[in-house]
Chains A and B, each alone.
Chain A
Amino acid sequence: MAQVNPMPQKEDAAGSNQENHLIRRVAEGDEQAFAQFVRLYTAPVYRFIRRMVNSIEDAEDLTQETFYAVYKHRHTLRPDAEILPYLYTIARRKAVSLFRWRTVRQILLPLSDAHENLPADMESPIHTIQQNREEAAINLALATLPENQRAALVLRFFEGLTYPEIAGILNKPEGTVKSLVFRGEQTLRLKLSNRALIEERGSQ
């Protein structure tokens, strides 16, 4: 295996120093800094939640809830803290709360509903259809995993966090996280192989 591809990297907002400065201003109660903070981190938080809940509306609501929780406790933010793992921790807690409130059926759509849940722009060019199909398939396959496996997998393979960082977010030992990722990867691969998407992409 000669080819070495870069792993997805955590979003480096505007350099570590600028990030620390921004967080310090947020902690001091600077409203403009908080607005900048939200604009900076909305995308990674939303993407993580979207993979977790498989519903656009829920993902948007939970993103808002996550940032509102940060706003309420902004005075406790530490400039030297890793902010993305902190945000993912809050976002995951919000998602878990939502799972407890709703039935599994309402959030986690079964695989048989995949085609019904494709985006509405099915008349768009063929590559868009392919992309949407893949996104829907991945989200639906993820939705069948247990919550902790799903969170570990999303944080590892989509958000590019390290195992120690994921262990911190899930509040589990690193070895347990590796097992969760291992089992999750196996299940997800099986689900996606059944839909022949990996092979399809590989042949293009």
Chain B
Amino acid sequence: MNTPNIHTLREKLLLYVETVEWGRQELPEIERREIEECLRRDATLRREMEAIAAHLRFLRDSPPPRVPEDLATRCLETIQRRAAKRRRGGLMPWWAYATAFAVILIFAAGIWVGHQFPPAGEMPFQILLQEQHQLVARLESSLAGRYHETTLTTDNPWYQPLATLKETTRALAAYHEQTKDNLVIQRGLCIAIAQNITMLRTLCDYIEKNQSIPDYDMKFLNTASSAGNAL
């Protein structure tokens, strides 16, 4: 008679208990005799079998979950309601279909256009950065000319704001390099540079058009039409 290994034996012990305790023929007669032979020899195995038997009796005799009395009724009500809704859903007016079709068409067109003209990868940030550099140079030149200087000196009221702007831009460019894989951050950086560009362009246009320099306080942007320091 072959003796099964310990793992197989333990697994078969459960089937043996099911067979003996519950009267189900889960084990062939020969395997059952093998188990019984092992049980006769091994007290630990007998204890294990008793523990399994007690556990299965406990599970079998445990109270089943209480079924809510009105559950079947609620099931039927829900099914009827959903079935009715489903039936109504099949009778939409013609304009609903037309609207849905139009939305799908617009969406498909958007996808097609997107494929035809894909975004230029890293280009937007670099282009924006380049434009900002040009605008800063243009602004510095305008301001220096208005103050009768060749370059802005450190005691010029515009020197510090522009130095801060350049420093911030350098930090943004470095951050851009570090976060190339994060599209959300990349987009945020582009928005930040774009805002700088808008402000710089407004400032340059104002100075060149009015032949005057506004207060370096950035509140100028809100009162540009009335403010301005005449030279």
Contacts and interface: CB of A to CB of B under 8 A. Distances in A.
Interface of A: 1, 3-8, 35, 38-39, 42-43, 46-47, 50-51, 56, 59-60, 63-64, 67-68, 71, 131, 134-135, 138-139, 157-158, 162-163, 178-179, 181-182, 185, 188-189, 192-193, 197-198, 201-202
Contacts of B68: 46, 56, 60
A64 B74 contact: yes
Nearest to B57: A5
Contacts of A198: 54-55, 58
A163 B17 CA distance: 15
A46 B74 CA distance: 13
Interface string B83-116: 1000000000000000000000000000000000
Nearest to A135: B63
Interface in B15-32: 15, 17-18, 20-24, 26
Majority-rule SS of B interface residues: helix
B102 to A, nearest CB: 30
B123 interface: no
A60 B65 CA distance: 12
Contacts, number: 104
B10 to A, nearest CB: 7
B60 A157 contact: yes
A202 B79 contact: no
B47 interface: no
Given A185-B52, A189-B51, 13 more contacts: A6-B23, A7-B24, A39-B72, A46-B68, A50-B65, A51-B65, A60-B71, A68-B78, A158-B59, A188-B55, A197-B58, A198-B54, A202-B58
23 contacts: A1-B49, A4-B21, A4-B22, A5-B21, A7-B22, A7-B23, A7-B24, A38-B79, A39-B72, A46-B71, A47-B65, A47-B67, A59-B65, A71-B83, A135-B62, A182-B11, A185-B56, A188-B55, A189-B51, A198-B54, A198-B55, A201-B61, A202-B54
Contacts of A3: 21
Interface residues of B, number: 39
A10 B154 CA distance: 92
Q: Closest 3 A-B residue pairs measured CB to CB?
A: A7-B22, A50-B65, A42-B72
Nearest to B17: A1
A138 B75 contact: no
Contacts of B83: 71
A38 B76 contact: yes
A71 B53 CA distance: 41
Contact of B79 (A5, A51, A64, A157): A64
B22 A6 contact: yes
Contacts of B194: none
A202 B56 CA distance: 12
B67 A42 contact: yes
B64 interface: yes
B14 interface: yes
Nearest to B16: A1
B82 interface: yes
A113 to B, nearest CB: 18
A50 B63 CA distance: 13
Nearest to B86: A72
B14 A134 contact: no
Contacts of A163: 26
Contacts of B75: 38, 42, 63-64, 67
Given A68-B79, A157-B59, A198-B54, A60 B74 contact: yes
A141 to B, nearest CB: 10
B79 A71 contact: yes
Best-surrounded residue of B51, B54, B55, B75 (most CB of chain A within 10 A): B75
A138 B55 CA distance: 11
A60 to B, nearest CB: 6
A178 B17 CA distance: 13
A51 B20 CA distance: 26
A193 to B, nearest CB: 8
Contacts of A179: 11
